[in-house]
Structure 1
Amino acid sequence: MPLNIDTDYLKQRLKRVLEIPSPSSYTDQITRDCAEELQRLGVDFELTRRGAVRARLPGKKEMPARAIVAHLDTLGAQVKALKSNGRLQVVPIGHWSARFAEGARCTIYTDHKALRGGILPLKASGHTFNEEVDTQPTGWDYVELRVDEKASNADDLRELGIDIGDIIAIDPQPEFLDSGFIVSRHLDDKAGVAVLFAALKALCKCDTQPEVDTYFIFTVSEEVGQGASSVLMPHVASMITIDNGTTAPGQNSAEFGVTIAMADQTGPFDWHLTRKLVKLCQQHGIDYQKDVFRYYRSDSASALDAGADIRTALLTFGIDASHGYERIHTHALTSLARLLVAYTLSPVEISRDAKDIGGLKGFTRQP
């Protein structure tokens, strides 16, 4: 089975998607870019109304179809108010700490142009506020966006075209290091997107056809909890989500190899599918570890919440400082891509999953 992954291509795709701002609800451009890359690879795809991308690799059989999912959208912010001092009050898009927003460079997208700025604490000057710069509280009520234009009051901001609700994209500031480490904002989940493309490229060059139709899906609203709620085909029986795994005290995730999530805050993942993925790692010499996440949900959760009767699993690349200035390693990304290729080409073990509902015959057993 060919498990060779083009690492240069993987990093190239990651650099490309990091260059495209895509906070939730502002994802048209990244949808177009991904669709164009799928065309270049020769992979058929279709788009939902809001821009989720559903690419299809045809298999020997149509059912029970598989899906592999990553999300294109990232964290960001929105204009909450135009302040009398010529700065902007902001609120987050997605769940992230204002602690990580302090000092961030960003772009404000008005209806007609893009403006640059930076997010600062309300008391940003030590020469003025002395020790108060260290003792002021942390939170979104204690930061403001300084627009890099001449603006000393709210009217000046209006003249610039800024309005309440305008989208703010946070600069990723990526670094690709010779050590294999990659440091950037928004690696969640643009690294997952790059992994899907690397696996797709390997599969497109492979002479082996997948056992069943396999959909590679890119969602556009995971960071706000919607994700894969309305993008799956009815005949999809199992779905694997690719996202970040938190390397932090008390966690078993790692920045190397594949981290297989056994559960998150929504409960355990499918017993049979997770164990199949472990078995594939063992068969193909792919480094892996297991973990359980307590304050975490993903595209898998949104699909189940929407009522999809599917088996779900979560595969992750270990990430340090999740939802902040994040760090990952190339080894984890290539390991994930290898596992996705192995999974896509693996035989179906639960043939009964081809039917929405049935009798006891062929139903699974657990020891």
Structure 2
Amino acid sequence: MPRLAIDSDYLLQRLDTLLSIPSPTGYTDMVVRECTAELERLGIEAELTRRGAIRAVLQGSARRPARAVIAHVDTLGAQVKALKDNGRLEVVPIGHWSARFAEGARATIYTEKGAWRGTILPMKASGHTYNEEVDTAPVGWQHVELRVDALVRTKVDCERLGFSVGDFVSIDPQPEFLDNGFLVSRHLDDKAGVAVMFAALEAILREGAQLPVDAHWLFSIAEEVGVGGSSVLTSDVASLIAIDNGTAAPGQASDEFGVTVSMADQTGPFDYHLTRKLIRLCRDNDIRYQQDVFRFYRSDSASALEAGADVRTALITFGVDASHGYERTNIHALRSLAELVTAYLTSPIEIQRDAKEVSGIEGFTTQPMEEAKAAHEPVTPRPYRTKA
């Protein structure tokens, strides 16, 4: 079955809603509730792990070899490291992101007594006081502090209002959806991927598309700290496709338009057969795509493999400019990803042997080994002639 039509308005509405719910890793209960409610609205029953990873199964003609798609609902953030004598808060990052992008960020601090607003600032923040020292100050988490929007001038003031070490800090996304299709926001990684999953699911349900095998829709809650898809897979799943951001930057092939198929990341190559099937589906369905390799990157699929899951893995991404900073992508990339997901989940099963966790060599895959041939006929050389 070819790719399905994607409702871009629904995709953007999902993304806008998800961005409005703070969810730094470790503080994801409310976004999990939102995703579960939307699945139920679509008529899909969801089940949750103890900590809140979500699994929803859309039944196909057979149970195995099931396919799964996964994206993560957690985002970057911070935690309070210490209450400072000047009434400000020392913070450490949740996930890997630079303090360069934290400077100036508006934030919410969640205490046991309630939430407070604040701003992450460099310690030398006043140009009228420090003059050029503002420009030469070093960058790093030890050089920023969180100014709370409350009357707190001492550590005792912070304690009185209920602040404590370990409080979670969420960073405002500041989203802008432009008329030309560009989407600018923090936390597109990976709330845009979650929105893609919902858009693909909505299209499959709306069109009544038939699936050859069960499709598992997985939402992880701790990808930014490396846990990701480690505890949400079942043994029925034979292939896992992660949806996440790709790094659109100099030296990379990723793009803010079309699908970026990752061939490898820092954990190694993705599955040969699954990756090339996705590329064929892009070609056959006229979905723009490019291929890339990521050196400083891992996704939900890596944690699934490290947890012992014997599944084929692939990673398809929406190109993001300034990943883990003020991120930007385009609706074209998100729509293309959703189209590819629908084309994949409705496509025939090619490796029937994957239905069993362990079996003999019969039906096992092959990879090409023969020498490549030129695209044109070789030129026959003229015979060498000597002079008479």
TM-score normalised by L of structure 1: 0.99
Partner of 1:352: 353
SS at match of 1:205: helix
How far does the alpha carbon of each residue in 1:202-244 deviate from its partner, in whole angstroms, 9 at most, with x for none?
Answer: 0111223210001010000000000000100111100000000
Q: How does 1:249-264 map to 2 (within 5 A)?
A: 249-264=250-265
Distance, in Å, in 1 between the alignment partners of 2:254 and 2:186 is 19
Residue 275 of structure 2 is aligned to residue 280 of structure 1: no
How far apart are 1:43 and its partner, in Å?
1.0
Confirm or deny: 8 A CA contact 2:352 2:363 kept in the other structure: yes
Residue 269 of structure 2 is aligned to residue 292 of structure 1: no
Partner of 1:110: 111
How far apart are 1:355 and its partner, in Å?
0.5
Q: How does 1:85-96 map to 2 (within 5 A)?
A: 85-96=86-97
Distance, in Å, in 1 between the alignment partners of 2:207 and 2:63 is 19
Distance, in Å, in 1 between the alignment partners of 2:359 and 2:202 is 36
Partner of 1:149: 150
Distance, in Å, in 2 between the alignment partners of 1:276 and 1:95 is 32
Distance, in Å, in 2 between the alignment partners of 1:63 and 1:126 is 63
How far does the alpha carbon of each residue in 1:35-75 deviate from its partner, in whole angstroms, 9 at most, with x for none?
Answer: 00000000121011111110111010000011100000000
Distance, in Å, in 2 between the alignment partners of 1:55 and 1:276 is 24
How far does the alpha carbon of each residue in 1:170-225 deviate from its partner, in whole angstroms, 9 at most, with x for none?
Answer: 00000000010000000000000000000000011122321000101000000000
Partner of 2:229: 228
Q: How does 1:84-233 map to 2 (within 5 A)?
A: 84-233=85-234
How far does the alpha carbon of each residue in 1:71-106 deviate from its partner, in whole angstroms, 9 at most, with x for none?
Answer: 000000000000000000000000000000000000
Confirm or deny: 8 A CA contact 1:22 1:73 kept in the other structure: yes
**Residue identity matched to 2:154:** N
Distance, in Å, in 2 between the alignment partners of 1:147 and 1:31 is 28
Confirm or deny: 8 A CA contact 1:60 1:213 kept in the other structure: yes
Distance, in Å, in 2 between the alignment partners of 1:341 and 1:307 is 28
Q: How does 1:36-55 map to 2 (within 5 A)?
A: 36-55=37-56
Distance, in Å, in 2 between the alignment partners of 1:198 and 1:287 is 18
Give me the CA root mean square deviation. Answer: 0.6
Partner of 2:4: 3
SS at match of 1:79: strand
Aligned residues: 367
Confirm or deny: 8 A CA contact 1:222 1:298 kept in the other structure: yes
Distance, in Å, in 2 between the alignment partners of 1:153 and 1:334 is 50
How far does the alpha carbon of each residue in 1:119-146 deviate from its partner, in whole angstroms, 9 at most, with x for none?
Answer: 0000001111111101111000000000
Residue 269 of structure 2 is aligned to residue 268 of structure 1: yes
Confirm or deny: 8 A CA contact 2:246 2:254 kept in the other structure: yes
Distance, in Å, in 1 between the alignment partners of 2:23 and 2:218 is 16
Distance, in Å, in 1 between the alignment partners of 2:327 and 2:116 is 25
How far does the alpha carbon of each residue in 1:8-55 deviate from its partner, in whole angstroms, 9 at most, with x for none?
Answer: 000000000000000000000000000000000001210111111101
Partner of 1:23: 24
Partner of 1:315: 316
**Residue identity matched to 2:127:** G
CA radius of gyration, larger in: 2
Distance, in Å, in 2 between the alignment partners of 1:137 and 1:267 is 34
Runs of at least 5 residues in structure 1 that lack an aligned partner in the other structure: none
How far does the alpha carbon of each residue in 1:134-160 deviate from its partner, in whole angstroms, 9 at most, with x for none?
Answer: 111100000000000000000000111
TM-score normalised by L of structure 2: 0.94
Distance, in Å, in 2 between the alignment partners of 1:327 and 1:208 is 32
Partner of 2:244: 243
Confirm or deny: 8 A CA contact 2:64 2:214 kept in the other structure: yes
CA pair 284-2 structure 1, distance change in 2 beyond 3 A: closer
Residue 54 of structure 2 is aligned to residue 63 of structure 1: no
SS at match of 2:229: coil
**Residue identity matched to 2:203:** A
Aligned-pair identity in percent equals 66
Distance, in Å, in 1 between the alignment partners of 2:232 and 2:189 is 20
Distance, in Å, in 2 between the alignment partners of 1:48 and 1:60 is 26
Distance, in Å, in 1 between the alignment partners of 2:209 and 2:295 is 39
Confirm or deny: 8 A CA contact 1:183 1:327 kept in the other structure: yes
Distance, in Å, in 1 between the alignment partners of 2:45 and 2:66 is 16
Confirm or deny: 8 A CA contact 1:2 1:206 kept in the other structure: no
**Residue identity matched to 1:64:** P
Residue 292 of structure 2 is aligned to residue 304 of structure 1: no
How far does the alpha carbon of each residue in 1:317-355 deviate from its partner, in whole angstroms, 9 at most, with x for none?
Answer: 000000000000000000000000000100000000000
